[in-house]
Every structure is written in structure tokens, then in C-alpha cells.
Structure 1
Amino acid sequence: MTAKIINGTEIAKHIRHSLNEKISLLKTPPVLAVILAGSDPASEIYVKNKEKACHEVGITARTHKFSANVSEKELLDLLNDLNRAPDINGILVQLPLPAHINSEKILQAVSPAKDVDGFHPLNTG
């Protein structure tokens, strides 16, 4: 068997185009809620790239940015609201969270049906 070199950039471009076509047929575009707490530069870049990717395919990204001193209760309250919001289709919690936040507790608070990263225990198996 011979090795075949694939062009990941072209494959990704094709996938984005296909997604854009499918999403354009929907009555309302999907909405991704992103939670970003703190000021980790790598996390901020990652979230900006996710927002850009969402925009390219027709998904609405709503980023909820918090300072590093956000309380766990504030994040849990927001997650409760996002889980119940019918217009929110997916939730992404950007890691790492500030050190005083119990990341596991936050990830478990995301509805398994809206957990785009698949970190909820029901999604990890």
C-alpha cells in the first residue's frame, strides 16, 4: 500500500463550504454560547478563532467573557440560563478556568445535549 498525502486545508475548506450550505437552509442559524473566564492569551486566541469559524459557516457565536475573579456561582448561574435557553444550541466552556473555579463542577453543569466539547460525563462514556 502506498501512502497518500492529504491536503488538510482543502478538506477543511470543503467541510466549511458544505456546512455553510446546510446551515443556510435552516430557518434560524445555530447559536454557540462560549464562556471565557480570565485573560489567558492562548484561550483568547482560541475563542477568537472559534468565533471566526462560526461566522464563516453561518453559526452565531455569543461569547460571555468574565474577569479572572469571576465566582463559580456566576458561571453556574449563566450555565443554568444557557441550558434552559431554547435559542442556544451549543455551549463551549473554554479551559483552563481560573484556579479558584472547580472546572469539573462547571463542565458537569453543561447540559449533555448542548456540550459541544463532549466533556460532560454522559458524553465521555
Structure 2
Amino acid sequence: MNKSVSPARDNPENKTERWHTLTVEETLARLETQASGLTPTETARRQAEYGPNELQAAHRISPWTILFEQFKNVLIVILLVATVLSTFLGHGVEAIAIAVIVLFAVLLGFVQ
């Protein structure tokens, strides 16, 4: 199984190492490398030991899921109920105002 950490992080001494205070030569020595980079053999060995130097693919969330998540907010649900009640009670202007507020809140949450 491949590890996903670098050699520098595996070494417990490096947890308190002040890398910014080291000279270039000291840093290269501690990282077991050279200024020109790793040799192909060393690269292959480290890839076999630690795995490839790649970012994991991020799990993408559907825009529809993000939109519907906005309606799980209790305040949004209360405002939607208030919109329906205002409509049935004949307060159309208030219902429209509340609906606009809900729309802005949902859109803001979606964009963020």
C-alpha cells in the first residue's frame, strides 16, 4: 500500500524543524536530494514507496444538490410558509416581498 506522505513528514525530528533557518545545503541533505533534483532511479524508488505526487480528484457536488440544500435551512422554510400564508390571507404585496427575500437568500447561499 502506498503512503501519501513525503519523506520529510515521516521523520519525527522534522515536526519541530525550522526549515526557514536552514541553508540550502542543509535542506537538501535533510530531504535527501540535490539541487538538480532527484535521479530517475531515486524518483522511481520514492514513487514506489510513497505513491505518485498527485492531487486526489475532488468529489463534485451537483449544482441541483447545492440549490436544494438551501431549502434545508429552517429560516428559509419559515419564510416559505409565511409566503404561502400571506398569499392565502390576501396579503399579496407581503407575499411577494417575502418571496423576493427567500429568492435572494437561496441565490446567495447557492453562489457561496
TM-score, length-scaled by structure 2:
0.21
TM-score, length-scaled by structure 1:
0.19
Higher share in helix: 2
Higher share in strand: 1
In terms of Rg, which structure is larger? 2
Higher normalized contact order (CA 8 Å, seq sep 6+, divided by chain length): 1
